[in-house]
Structure 1
Amino acid sequence: MTDPTTPTPPPVPERSAAEAAEAAATGTHSEGIAGVDDTGVPRLVGDLDDIGRGFLSALFDLSFTRFITRRLASIFYLVGLVAIGISFVAAFVGGIVSGIGALWWNPGGGIALIVSTVVVAPILAFLAVVVLRFVIEAGVALVAIAENTERTAANTKR
């Protein structure tokens, strides 16, 4: 009976790093492994290999086998934040200026407009940022699900 406190050693590779490097150099490596460096670690092919491909080739991929959503998500988020920021500043300044203008003919209404602008505009801007983040995360999650499903289907034996 073995001692449960003794850790099990990690599995030993099927061949040494030198043998794997020699097989990679001569082109006799296993199918599905594009190459092996001198450490014996296989280099992955497929989606990770496509990282070096250009953005334009992925953009004009008419078969829609490559997704660009993850690449563009941060850009969409940044553009959305800038748009929300500009809208917030415009609404805030416009509300304050309108409130000050209304003070001359309706002091109570002018004060109410200024106070409501100071309270409501930041809350709406914050909610807009939250909704923007939710929408972009939902799109990225949907693409991640599609990519993982495709990978699972490719690795499932039929």
Structure 2
Amino acid sequence: MSDSTPPVPPLPDRSAAEAARVTEPAATTPAYDPATDPDNTGVPTSLGDDATAIGRGFFAALFDLSFRTFITRRLASVFYLVGLIAIAIGFIVYLVNGIVGGVSLLWYNTGAGITAIIATVIIVPLVAFIAIIALRFIIEAVVALIAIAENTERTAQHTRR
């Protein structure tokens, strides 16, 4: 008959209460100093290889065929700005067209023209606001997904034997 009980791990050399009483100096990391930051990213240089990967040039990362370096986090603000500009252009175009269309309706049907102007003034800003929120959500989700991928890769590198 085989013994199916799992092995018991060894006990620590001191109790938890004793370990809590002993104050050992904690390892401190140096404070961030912008003057010594080599690439102005805020990433400490103690990361070794990770710091050089972050500091790589944009075009080197863009043409990295192994996809080991992500550029999405670097470009997120650019995508957001371009999206905001596109939403602003759409807002202006639809607002002007709606008001001009409503004014042109005033000559034939006063009620329809006033309704079109009021609907344009209410709906177009509301849709633009919802579009800005949706754009932000999408960009944040993509950036979070990339951050998860980077952190998972970093964890996998540190746990390999």
Residues 1:86 and 2:89 aligned together: yes
Residues 1:10 and 2:28 aligned together: no
The residue number in structure 2 matching 1:106 is 109
The residue number in structure 2 matching 1:56 is 59
The residue number in structure 2 matching 1:138 is 141
RMSD: 2.3
Residues 103-128 of structure 1: per-residue CA shift (max 9 Å, x gap): 00011110000000010000000000
Pair 12,124 (structure 1): closer, same or farther in 2 beyond 3 Å: closer
Unaligned segments of structure 2, at least 5 residues: 1-16, 29-43
Structure 1 position 45, deviation (Å): 1.1
The residue number in structure 2 matching 1:116 is 119
Structure 1 position 139, deviation (Å): 0.6
Structure 1 position 146, deviation (Å): 0.4
Structure 1 position 74, deviation (Å): 0.2
Number of residue pairs matched by the alignment = 129
Pair 73,151 (structure 1): closer, same or farther in 2 beyond 3 Å: same
Whole-Å separation in 2 of the counterparts to 1:109 and 1:93:
17
Unaligned segments of structure 1, at least 5 residues: 14-40
Whole-Å separation in 2 of the counterparts to 1:88 and 1:12:
54
Residues 85-142 of structure 1: per-residue CA shift (max 9 Å, x gap): 0100110111001100100001111000000001000000000000000110111011
Structure 1 position 42, deviation (Å): 7.5
Residues 1:69 and 2:84 aligned together: no
Identity value in percent: 57
Whole-Å separation in 2 of the counterparts to 1:12 and 1:88:
54
Secondary structure in 1 aligned to 2:82?
Answer: helix
Q: Which amino acid aligns with 2:139?
A: I
Q: Which amino acid aligns with 2:113?
A: G
Structure 1 position 46, deviation (Å): 1.8
Whole-Å separation in 1 of the counterparts to 2:55 and 2:45:
18
Whole-Å separation in 2 of the counterparts to 1:12 and 1:132:
42
1:152 to 134, 155, 159: 155
TM-score by length of 2: 0.73
Runs of 4+, deviation exceeding 6 Å: none
